[in-house]
Amino acid sequence: MPIDIRAEAARYYDCNPDCVDDIAFYRERIPGQAANVLELGCGTGRVLLPLTGVCGSIHGVDISEAMLALCREKLARAAIPPSKARVEAGDITRLDLGRTFDLITAPYRVFQNLETDAEVDGFFSVVRKHLAPGGTCILNVFKPKSDRKGLRDRWSDGSEYFSWEQPIEGGRVACYGRNARIHPTRMILYPELIYRAYQGDALVDEATLKIVMRCYYPEEFERLILDHGFRIIQRWGGYAGEPYGEGPELVIQFSE
């Protein structure tokens, strides 16, 4: 496994108050109480745990052992047995679990962390390999807030900005972002998230997470899925039912 880039910042992931409200959306997409679900990029289990009550079983995969450790702690505290929910470390672009699933998800923009075309192709191969007959996959990315030129201009300064702050036991944690750089033709963002923990006014911890966010525009995202040989079933512009291309997210459900 590669170096776990989320190792230092994982403990702050669940503090984020700005995470999208998508759990009810995914609960409604479970095809039945006996359905088997695969979550690619399950992280700390933010979506995985709430889905355990509405499906037969759910299997989570993530490349970060630090995130999975937190997920396993949550599963243990909730007394959810392995027969109901299981998580493991793995590369979601090169995965073979030897079984298929009725629904495959990759919540909260996991797909955008795939930087190269080879990784994207590998991801779709993994989806195809693990889809049961009649099964579907749901992917989402954020909708860029500006056109390509505007996005390049916004990501040109590398300045740090405040994102959010939350109280924690013994103090507070604040998150700052930095637009580190952008690939100007492939439209790949390289943001940095800086977490700072305070006790009173004293800084007691700092962790920086450097990630990749590959941008997709509405027609481009659709075309990518179609070009990989899948059939689009439904599209949304957000988790409140916004029309595709008009909301903050791009969400597509597809099958073979």
- Mean pLDDT of the chain, nearest integer: 96
Residue 249 · residue 142 · CB < 8 Å: yes
pLDDT at residue 1, rounded to an integer: 62
- Which whole number is the average pLDDT over 46-60? 97
44: phi then psi, degrees, rounded to nearest 5:
-85, 5
Residue 61 to residue 75: CA distance in whole angstroms: 14
Q: If one looks up domain 10-144+216-255 in CATH, what number appears?
A: 3.40.50.150
Determine the residue type at 223: R
Residue 61 to residue 129: CA distance in whole angstroms: 15
> Tens digits of per-residue pLDDT, 158-211?
889 999 999 998 999 999 999 999 999 999 999 999 999 999 999 999 999 999
Token pair in block for residue 34: 């006996």
3-class DSSP state for residue 147?
A: coil
Q: How many helices (H) and strands (E) does the chain have?
A: 6, 12
Kindly tell me if the per-residue pLDDT of 12 is higher than 70. yes
Determine the residue type at 97: L
Q: Exposed (0-12), middle (13-18) or buried (19+): which is 169, by Cβ within 10 Å?
A: exposed
> Tens digits of per-residue pLDDT, 94-125?
999 999 999 999 999 999 999 999 999 999 99
Collect all residues with Cβ–Cβ distance below 8 Å to 149 and sequence separation of at least 6.
Answer: none
Distances (CA, A) of 249 to 152, 245, 246: 20, 8, 8
- Which whole number is the average pLDDT over 135-151? 96
Closest residue by Cα to residue 58 from 38, 40, 41 = 38
Residue 108 to residue 51: CA distance in whole angstroms: 15
Collect all residues with Cβ–Cβ distance below 8 Å to 15 and sequence separation of at least 6.
Answer: 166, 168, 173, 175, 195
194: phi then psi, degrees, rounded to nearest 5:
-110, 115
> Tens digits of per-residue pLDDT, 31-40?
999 999 999 9
Q: How far out from the chain centre does Cα 132 lie?
A: 22
pTM above 0.85, yes or no: yes
Residue 199 · residue 217 · CB < 8 Å: no
Buried b (16+ CB within 10 A) or exposed e, 43-62: bbbbbbbebbebbebbbbbb
